[in-house]
Amino acid sequence: MKRHENALGIMEGACNLKAIARSLVQAADEAAGEGIGAESDAAVRMIVYRLARLCRVDEISYGYSTETLNDVYCTLMKECLERAKEGAATPVQVIEPTTLLGVPQRVRLPEGVQG
Closest CA to 58 of 40, 43, 44, 72: 72
Segment (H or E) for 108: strand 106-108
Q: CA dist 8 to 17, 33, 100, Å? A: 16, 20, 37
50 and 13, same domain (yes or no): yes
Domain range spanning residue 99?
Answer: 67-108
* Tally of domains in the chain: 2
Please indicate, yes or no, if residue 115 is contained in any of the structural domains: no
51 and 71, same domain (yes or no): no
**pLDDT tens per residue across all 115 residues of the chain:** 799 999 999 999 999 999 999 999 999 999 999 999 999 999 999 999 999 999 988 888 777 777 777 888 888 999 999 999 988 766 556 555 554 445 444 445 555 555 4
Predicted TM-score of the model (pTM): 0.68
The 3-state DSSP composition of the chain as helix, strand, coil percent (nearest 5) reads 55, 5, 35
For the stretch 39-64, pLDDT in tens is: 999 999 999 999 999 998 888 877 77
Please indicate, yes or no, if residue 26 is contained in any of the structural domains: yes
85 and 45, same domain (yes or no): no
Say what the pLDDT of residue 97 is: 53
Boundary residue ending a domain (55, 75, 96):
55
